[in-house]
Amino acid sequence: MRAPGMTFFRMPIFVWTFLSSQLLQLFCLPSLTGALILLFFDLSFGTNFFKPSGNGDPILYQHLFWFYSHPAVYVMVLPVFGVFSEVIPAFSRNPLYGYRSVAIASIGIAVVSSVVWVHHMFASATPSWMRMFFMVTTMLVAVPTGIKEFAWTATVWRGRLHLLTPMLFALGGVVMFLFAGITGIMLGSTPFDLHVNNTYFVVGHFHYVVYNTITMGIFAGFYFWFPKITGRMYAEGWGKIHFWLTFIGANLTFFPMHPLGLQGMLRRVSSYDPQYQGWNIVASLGSFLLGMSTLPFIANMVVSLLRGPKAVDNPWHATGLEWKTSSPPPKENFDAIPLVTEPPYHYNDNDPAEIARPEAAAQE
């Protein structure tokens, strides 16, 4: 269903990352489905797949569960990597550095992430050889993800940066994913993982991926494609207020969980020892700020949708087929099927170096 001329290595990275995430869904989700069916039989019909009392193996359930539930994180984060790869070139006025490497790395993440699930089970009855093998595979994930981080950094390097709201959220997400990756490598090490297992360090790492990376990427994509989807421009000032409240609130909420975990505070507790009070107060204040950060976002989107200035077809001077049609696109997207003749992220001397602020990029 690709347009004429749209070869695999002319596809946007956004498409590559969605392809990778859905391949993970296709091959890994049946494991969780099977585990739940077997659990249903154990609970309802007296079978003994997982019951130790009937010579069942509860560790088998963990294997079947985590075989999907760890790649599920990549199912969520891979499309966000695609958003970063669309936003950063547009607001840097640079082609995406190492496009082919980033595309292949997307598939590489899907492949490697399917053989790392046992790092969730290091504290279970896991043989030493299995711990060592999955410690190595877990750390290998840093290779394709590192390729993406270096590509985004190189794209920004010597670029003509325009720090509008989509770019701020993209850069904020990239920075916080770097921190999440560092703590992920730490947790992939068996001795360290055994030390912080079931503590707030794990909670902090997880939320730096799922909120501080994924949600920031969702916001970046929302602001980036809002003019194309709605035909309206948002208020840039309120967008930046939303970003700074979110960025500060997210770090205040989730960073304190790392020292708390190193001090031994366990997860899933209703109360905690007074020695952990200081960092928990910081996290609580950050969570209030994070909750408040959604208010300017909601107000901005609602008011802009109803009364925002009309958007031009391509306010960001971005590449990609969606920017070649009107805002919002007509029902059939294009009057005629477009012919793709250029690689993605192709910026040339004829492209404007400057991007107008959203107010100036609108038309009455």
The CATH number that applies at residue 198 is 1.20.210.10
pLDDT of residue 130: 95
Q: Is residue 232 part of a domain?
A: yes
- Is 266 inside any structural domain? yes
Q: With the CA atoms of 117, 120, 124 and 126 taken in that order, what torsion angle do they form, in degrees rounded to the nearest 10?
A: 40
Q: Domain count for the chain, please give it.
A: 1
Inside any domain, residue 219: yes
Has residue 157 been placed in a domain?
A: yes
Domain encompassing residue 199: 8-363
| 162 inside domain | yes
Task: Identify the pLDDT of residue 1.
Answer: 81
Q: Give long-range contacts, CB 8 A cutoff, 24+ apart: 293-297.
A: 293/242, 293/245, 293/246, 293/249, 294/242, 296/238, 296/241, 296/242, 296/245, 297/219, 297/238, 297/242
pLDDT-based confidence at residue 26 (cuts at 50, 70, 90): very high
Residue 358 inside a domain? The answer is yes
Residue 320's pLDDT is 86
State yes or no: pLDDT of 284 exceeds 80: yes
Res 208: pLDDT:
97
> What predicted TM-score, i.e. pTM, was given to this entire model?
0.93
3 in a structural domain: no
pLDDT for the residue numbered 89: 94
**pLDDT beyond 60 at 11:** yes
Any domain includes 306: yes
Whether the upstream peptide bond of residue 328 has omega within 30° of 0, thus cis, is: yes
Give the integer Cα–Cα distance in Å for 236 and 165: 7
Segment 207-245, tens digit of pLDDT: 999 999 999 999 999 999 999 999 999 999 999 999 999
Q: Give mean pLDDT, residues 47-67.
A: 94
Average pLDDT over residues 191-210: 96
Residue 364 pLDDT > 60, yes or no?
A: no
Higher pLDDT, 133 or 158: 133
For residue range 251-275, list pLDDT tens digits in order: 999 999 999 999 999 999 989 999 9
The whole-chain average pLDDT of the chain stands at 92
